[in-house]
Structure 1
Amino acid sequence: MLFRPELHGTRAAVASTHWLASAAGLAMSERGGNAFDAAAAAAFVIQVVEPHLNGPGGDVPIMVYDARREKVEVICGQGPMPRAAGIERFRERGLDAVPGSGLLAACVPGAVGAWLLLLRRHGRLRLADVLAPAIRYAEEGYPVLPKAAAMIEAMAPLFRTEWAESGRTYLVDGRAPAPGERLRNPVLARTYRRLVAAARAAGDDREAQIEAAHTAFYDGFVAEAVDKFLATAEMIDATGRRNGGLLTGDDLATWRPAVEEPCSFDYRGHVVHKPGPWSQGPVFLQQLALLEGFDLAGMGFGSADHLHTVVESTKLAFADREAWYGDPAHADVPLAELLDRGYAARRRTLVGAEASGRLRPGWPGGLPARLPRVPEGVARRREHGWLEQLDNGIPMVVRRTAARGDTCCVTAADAEGNMVAATPSGGWLKSSPVVPGLGFPLGTRGQMAWLDAAHPNALAPGKRPRTTLSPSLVLRDGRPHLAFGTPGGDQQDQWTLHAFLNHVDFGMSPQAAVEAPAFHTDHVPSSFTPRRSRPRSLVAERGWDPAVLAELRRRGHEVEDAEPYSLGKVCMAGPTPDGGALAAASPRGAQAYAVAH
């Protein structure tokens, strides 16, 4: 029995991690827009209504299938580190890791540029139409999500005493808003309105308008505000000290979002497309390459063999992520070898009868693997308080509440066969102070880079840190089939993998696939500070057969119970064979919603 129906429409469908964003996206179809307009409108709304998880200062990979061109492409909205961000600059400050909060971890904010590029290349509507819902919610207010309220409450002492602009943005008369209370961000609304004004001033040509908005953001008033703030600001961060930032207006002015070829793998007739190794996307494909050699369907959904085989394959794929992934423009990433079926066959022999507690990367092409060393100081725990919150680089509230955060997701499809999947993230309110005059903070994605010059994911000037963001597009028989993604940091390519396997190997519909019980492992060190790992862990939502969990414990897995419907928020959208579109959204968190018409 499904908690929610799988929605089918005749024109368009959207699924995202916030109901207001999904509704805003679908409204673009009523204006004559396509799936690309819908995804962009939803994403800009999410910047407003999920400020605890993302914002205009963050980043996004966007997977695109354009039905007119019959082509999949990746729009990279992951900005690079500043040109002044060398390893020695951090060592000089006595640091052995990039702090997970504050100004030092800021990269060029790539999300706005990526969404503008999507609109210019693939959309139909004008920027004023696409930004209208986000402007309205920023000006008139929106109901604060419980998790956002909990995060603001946890950070309120810091906002009152240190990050004053964040206090002016998120506190209401000096206090944290209550869940469901209406919160406004008029400064952010003015930022959006200035982008629209710059677009209109460029004349009537739609593409020229979008280009003018890009210039206003990256070489105009936004870049100027960022440059002015970081030139003098010194803000307290996870180190417990006040540090300035390295990002400049010139870093923004010289950056453009890139359009890239995806990497892909054909799994049982489904060609899955992912972003490159500057994301963790290829790890999804490596898991498929390993699992291709097992009869999952024959094992039966929910069996001990099913969960054990998937988790052990995940450990191997993610070990390769740790050793080999990085920005391919700056590092030699042996991606072809990592996705080679012969390599997968050799790695598959390591999946044994017992749970492995070791991190075992492979040696593609005979090259020796290099695992990063987790600095001892990064794994510390602080006493309860806002400094402990800063110490944890992922957007979640630690210890004082069960509220968790991760990131966001937008998927959209239309009757023409267009598909979009994106996972916007970064620039969340917990980890960096709001920039005066803009209404949003910068991101902290630089924390994912290592201060190890020999590692592929080493921090370097102008280099993208390897991110966890990882949307997916699937073609079946050469035709568009599904676009999907989920919040979840390191778990994104586990929870979406399981939903995909539920659909392909176990024959579930998209909605059934996203609602099925979830599980994951925290075996590999987190990509976020403080880089914790739990070898042999297997986190499983309650609802699995107790006998299966007992058998997994017998095999050496450290099984941990999670609350039912607590792991992930997988969203899916895709065209239907009859010329319509479908959308499915997980009920987890009572937040993600699918809409169609």
Structure 2
Amino acid sequence: MFTTRPTLQGTFGMASSTHWLASQSAMAVLEDGGNAYDAAVAAAFVLHVVEPHLNGPAGEAPLIIAPAGGEVQVLCGQGPAPAGASAAAYRDLGLDLVPGTGPLAAAVPGAFDAWLLLLRDHGTKPLDTVLAYAIGYAEHGHPPVEHLGETVEKVRALFESEWTTSAELYLPGGRAPAPGTLFTNQALADTWRRLLAEANAAGGDREARIDAARRVWRSGFIAEALVAAAARPALDTSGERHAGPLSGDDLAGYEASYEAPARYDWNGWTVCKPGGWSQGPVLLQQLALLPPEPGALAYGTADYVHTLIEGSKLAFADREAWYGDAYGPSTVPLAGLLDADYNKARRQLIGAAASHALRPGHPAGRAPRLAAHALAVAHGERAATGPLTSAAAGVGEPTVTGVSADGGTRGDTCHLDIVDRWGNMISATPSGGWLQSSPVIPELGFPLGTRLQMTWLDPDLPNTLTPGRRPRTTLTPSLALRDGEPVLAFGTPGGDQQDQWQLHFFLAVALRAPVRGGLDLQGAIDAPNWHQESFPGSFYPRGMRPGAVTVESRFAPELIADLRRRGHVVTVGGPWSEGRLSAVARDPQTGLLSAAANPRGAQGYAVGR
């Protein structure tokens, strides 16, 4: 099969991410004797520099790790709502949705502590060694990708009239970052240099200096700047200026944490995801809804695509009714949602015609509850708010044209996967804190995040805005095992689309023939992709399009016609407009490593040897 690039193969190490400079920085760390976790931290901080429209240091980062010879773990870098952030307090401001931008939408930043905890516990390199790559690109410049300047242009008026600190960084001399030039962020470089100086001054061994850096973030000069920024009112998507409740106590009290992944066994594979505080189990539910007989569906046919679309609708309806952290992760009924009898009954709802209804299930006989906004949109009482992504426009990076003039965005994210010669593996989806989220904090060089926009202001829902509880995130890396051995790490940006595109990739890997004796990673990434939008979106203004499916134009015209005949509302997007997947793999029998990356958007790359 023709692919845009080969699936890389080797034995030393593989790194794949959504930006070539992050992938190559990770590879440089591997070449310097570091392991996959050292490399991942280096790549993550480079992504803050080179993809600031897609992630930042004050964002979030759920990670899945498989240490060689150890257990698969999730490292949760999703911070909770501040103590002063409650549904009642936000409703008292006259809001019915959390704004999509500004300080009100800021959760406690979680990414930084997660990356440093990973480095301390599983890495081998000092912090200053792995941060050197990000500092270098921030200080000496990097060639900006086209979408960075395009994003800045979309919010130019907001930056110039309201968020002037953002204009100072991203519109120097009135010009947005442009390809063929070098873009610098000296404030960010200075932030990391000061952090390192204070951490090293604390003394001690490698681990002690990393912990000292964590304290600087939580209670030192960085924490002080973050709290001051949250207290400054800023114009947000509500059309009003609001300050946020983030406090010093919120920052001081937060630490990233480890937990067991959600798992599902399918056709000889075990797929691992973050738990029900994320949308991760949606992928597991979609697998559970597939026909139980292997080979019952012919890959790539109209029946296959229709069945996946309808199963996706059921899984995402359950996400809306059951996922969230408002009452703690143990209250999400994952066992019931993945139960064989439950999914057998749900499978009977998949008929010959497309459903346009939002149909959450009743695991263990429990009655589902949905937000009033979601119900109103689903029942046509409130207008659906346009497509959830801009893939129909044919843009290579499917989320960027979703940025509105007021900074509202839909799913801007990064991803990285790394495996080393010792068998350590990681999949991570860093996001949030992007340049269009809140005004840049001038003394730090980055803004606050906006993950609280994914919560509801209705009371008593699993995803109600609740102090100290995590907002349900769309961020959802994946790791798969065979016979108990980690084999495959993969993921993608794309907000609500992440666990649709990842399902399609995984099935393409699992159901199609190997290439060169290994998994056809690049072929699975390059295969024509699609997504459906029959559920409330996670990003402000929380729209949905019942029955809507967007497909790449590389799908056969007969298949598209067949979907329309079944009642799907099909939009044909550009030929390379759906998904930004990355993946690495390891064969436990031979030690052979492989990697692939997404050609869409012309910036993702895999490297390795």
- The answer to whether the 8 A contact 2:385-2:544 is kept is no
Identity within the alignment, %: 53
Instruction: Give the distance between the partners of 2:122 and 2:508, measured in 1 at CA.
Output: 31
Instruction: Give the distance between the partners of 1:187 and 1:398, measured in 2 at CA.
Output: 25
Instruction: Give the distance between the partners of 2:384 and 2:274, measured in 1 at CA.
Output: 33
1:409 aligns with 2:415: yes
Per-residue deviation, 1:371: 1.4
List alignment gaps of at least 5 residues for structure 1. 383-393
> What whole-Å deviation, never above 9, does each CA across 1:256-280 have from its counterpart, x for those lacking one?
0010110100111110000001100
User: TM-score scaled by structure 1?
Assistant: 0.94
Matches within 5 A, 1:173-192: 173-192=173-192
Per-residue deviation, 1:200: 1.7
Instruction: Give the distance between the partners of 2:539 and 2:584, measured in 1 at CA.
Output: 29
The structure 2 residue matched to 1:313, chosen from 295, 311, 314, is: 311
Matches within 5 A, 1:33-432: 33-69=34-70, 71-231=71-231, 233-293=232-292, 295=294, 297-327=295-325, 330=328, 332-374=331-373, 396-398=401-403, 406-432=412-438
Matches within 5 A, 1:460-539: 460-507=466-513, 509-539=520-550
Larger deviation, residues 339-348 vs 190-199: 190-199
What residue in structure 2 maps to residue 390 of structure 1? none
- The answer to whether the 8 A contact 2:385-2:543 is kept is no
Per-residue deviation, 1:249: 1.7
Aligned-residue RMSD, C-alpha: 1.9
Amino acid at match of 2:319: R
What residue in structure 2 maps to residue 438 of structure 1? 444
The number of equivalent residue pairs is: 581
> What whole-Å deviation, never above 9, does each CA across 1:461-512 have from its counterpart, x for those lacking one?
1111000000000111111100000011000000010000001123351111
What residue in structure 1 maps to residue 568 of structure 2? 557
Per-residue deviation, 1:155: 1.2
Instruction: Give the distance between the partners of 2:209 and 2:592, measured in 1 at CA.
Output: 31
Q: Say which SS state the counterpart of residue 588 (structure 1) adopts.
A: coil
What residue in structure 1 maps to residue 15 of structure 2? 14
Per-residue deviation, 1:343: 1.1
- Gap change, CA 1:292 and 1:207, over 3 Å in 2: farther
Amino acid at match of 1:325: Y
Instruction: Give the distance between the partners of 2:410 and 2:536, measured in 1 at CA.
Output: 19
Instruction: Give the distance between the partners of 2:337 and 2:59, measured in 1 at CA.
Output: 29
> What whole-Å deviation, never above 9, does each CA across 1:261-318 have from its counterpart, x for those lacking one?
10100111110000001100001000011115255x4532221101001110101111
Per-residue deviation, 1:453: 1.3
> What whole-Å deviation, never above 9, does each CA across 1:141-168 have from its counterpart, x for those lacking one?
1111111101111112221221111111
- The answer to whether the 8 A contact 1:421-1:471 is kept is yes
What residue in structure 2 maps to residue 387 of structure 1? none
Per-residue deviation, 1:514: 0.8
1:574 aligns with 2:580: no
Amino acid at match of 1:442: L
Amino acid at match of 1:513: A
- Gap change, CA 1:412 and 1:329, over 3 Å in 2: farther
Per-residue deviation, 1:379: 5.9
- The answer to whether the 8 A contact 1:302-1:544 is kept is no
Amino acid at match of 2:110: G
The structure 1 residue matched to 2:602, chosen from 546, 566, 590, is: 590
> What whole-Å deviation, never above 9, does each CA across 1:316-357 have from its counterpart, x for those lacking one?
111000000001753621111111112111111111111001
Q: Say which SS state the counterpart of residue 590 (structure 1) adopts.
A: coil
Per-residue deviation, 1:522: 0.9
Instruction: Give the distance between the partners of 2:404 and 2:56, measured in 1 at CA.
Output: 25
Per-residue deviation, 1:38: 1.0
- The answer to whether the 8 A contact 2:326-2:461 is kept is no
- Gap change, CA 1:399 and 1:119, over 3 Å in 2: closer
> What whole-Å deviation, never above 9, does each CA across 1:533-580 have from its counterpart, x for those lacking one?
111112110111111111111111111101011111110012234224
Instruction: Give the distance between the partners of 2:28 and 2:286, measured in 1 at CA.
Output: 37
What residue in structure 2 maps to residue 543 of structure 1? 554
